[in-house]
Amino acid sequence: MKIECQTDNASHRKTFVLDGELDVHQAKTLKATVMEALEQDDVWTYVIDMARVGYIDSSGLGMLVYLKKEILRNQGRLLIEKPTDAVLNVFRLTKLNEFFELG
């Protein structure tokens, strides 16, 4: 999975554009990338752009839940943007569409 990071310093907003499949193997890559940013930044809004994620499983979901909790602990905000139908289906099945802020 590729992860591209776009930083908007003016609005304290960092966007991670994911491209690939978010499973148990790739979830660790996402965790390392986001946690590294979280350790460097103060209070920011983090956006995970999922327009090019055609597949997610419970390990990927678990990682998103973990990251949201960590970001909230740092007084930040997590937005999940442009989830595909496949990702939305799994969010709805697990009620995570109510847990995440979707855009």
Footprint of another protein (CB under 8 A)? 21, 23-25, 55, 57-59, 61-63, 65-66, 85-86, 89-90, 92-96, 99
Helix (H) or strand (E) run with residue 88 in it: helix 85-93
Q: Which H helix or E strand runs over 26?
A: helix 24-40
Nearer to another protein, 5 or 86 (CB): 86
Task: Say how far apart CA 57 and CA 92 lie, in whole Å.
Answer: 13
Q: How far is the CB of 80 from another protein (least distance, A)?
A: 14
Nearest CA to 61 out of 82, 34, 92 is that of 92
Which residue lies nearer to another protein by CB, 12 or 79?
79
CB of 58 to another protein, least distance (A): 4
Cβ proximity to another protein, 19 vs 23, nearer residue: 23
DSSP state of 97: H
Least distance in angstroms from the C-beta of 101 to another protein: 14
- DSSP code, position 41: -
